Amino acid sequence: MMNKTNLNNIEKDTSPFDSKAIEEAAKNILLAVGEDPGREGLRRTPLRIASMYDELLAGYKADPEEIVNGALFHVEYDEMVLVRDIEFYSLCEHHMLPFMGRAHVAYIPNGKVIGLSKIPRIVDMFARRLQVQERMTRQIADFIRDLLKPQGVAVVVEGLHLCMMMRGVKKHNARMTTSAMHGAFRANLATRQEFLDNISRGASALQI
């Protein structure tokens, strides 16, 4: 079982999701932009928007213990474990527009490994919130560090942000890269370089 102290930094919302309030807010936005929420194409739009946010923000209600679900195993292995090209979708907390991309997560075990499918689930737990990419990257790295107590953790996230592509500066090809390193990946240049070489090898251009 996970130590409860590992969860202290996770913003977990246990309050009920207020679909009706979101539906009403969506209806008011339609009215504010001069639309008729009663017309055929928009009649169910507030309901759809509420359902969409329930799905896209599901990370707030994610239970870390359920996600890990006991999939921690004692294994004598002390080389790098890397899961790369994990696709994610999130919502920018400044404009509530999507940003999306891929995450690369590596760790060096210290007698304990986690089930392969759990790392993408951990990424989703932090992505499916109102986020900024910098914080999301750090949260993923910190969570794995606290959970596994490994020799090191490295996370690199590449993202395309619709708030920069659709509005404002309108730069369609700009992408953002963030990283968080702990332990051996921060202290040892060769270990960090091995990780960076592995995630760049055969990498395709990030695009929508």
Asked if pLDDT for residue 144 goes beyond 50, the answer is yes
Residue 168: its pLDDT value, please? 92
Which residue is catalytic, options 104, 131, 133, 158? Answer: 133
Give residues with Cβ within 8 angstroms of 207, minimum separation 6. 160
Asked if pLDDT for residue 9 goes beyond 80, the answer is no
Are 89 and 52 found together in one domain?
no
| Proportion of the chain above pLDDT 90, given as a percent | 87
**Domain enclosing residue 104, as ranges:** 70-200
Are 27 and 117 found together in one domain?
no
| Proportion of the chain above pLDDT 70, given as a percent | 93
Q: What's the pTM?
A: 0.91
Q: Is residue 8 part of a domain?
A: no
* Residue 161 annotated among the catalytic residues of the structure: yes
Which residue is catalytic, options 104, 131, 161, 182? Answer: 161
Residue 10: its pLDDT value, please? 58
Sorting pLDDT into bands at 50, 70 and 90, what band is 207? Answer: confident
Residue 4: its pLDDT value, please? 47
Residue 135: closest CA among 4, 11, 2, 7: 11
Are 191 and 164 found together in one domain?
yes
Distances (CA, A) of 98 to 31, 52, 90, 160, 163: 23, 12, 6, 9, 7
Sorting pLDDT into bands at 50, 70 and 90, what band is 26? Answer: very high
- For residue 129 the two structure tokens come to 């919130």
* Residue 163 annotated among the catalytic residues of the structure: yes
- For residue 107 the two structure tokens come to 């760790």
pLDDT in tens, 46-62: 999 999 999 999 999 99
Residue 208: its pLDDT value, please? 75
Are 28 and 122 found together in one domain?
no
Distances (CA, A) of 104 to 5, 7, 80, 84, 159: 25, 22, 13, 4, 12
The total number of structural domains that make up the chain: 2
Residue 12: its pLDDT value, please? 61
Residue 2: its pLDDT value, please? 46
Sorting pLDDT into bands at 50, 70 and 90, what band is 16? Answer: confident
Are 123 and 158 found together in one domain?
yes
Which residue is catalytic, options 24, 66, 93, 134? Answer: 93
* Residue 66 annotated among the catalytic residues of the structure: no
* Residue 172 annotated among the catalytic residues of the structure: no
* Residue 94 annotated among the catalytic residues of the structure: yes
Which residue is catalytic, options 92, 131, 139, 151? Answer: 92
Are 41 and 121 found together in one domain?
no
Are 93 and 176 found together in one domain?
yes
Which residue is catalytic, options 94, 134, 172, 193? Answer: 94
Q: Is residue 83 part of a domain?
A: yes
* Residue 182 annotated among the catalytic residues of the structure: no
Long-range contacts of 1-9 (CB under 8 A, 24+ apart): 1/65, 1/70, 2/64, 2/65, 2/68, 2/147, 5/146, 6/64, 6/143, 6/146, 6/147, 7/64, 9/139, 9/142, 9/143
Residue 13: its pLDDT value, please? 63
Structural contact between residues 141 and 153, judged by C-beta atoms closer than 8 angstroms: yes
* Residue 95 annotated among the catalytic residues of the structure: yes
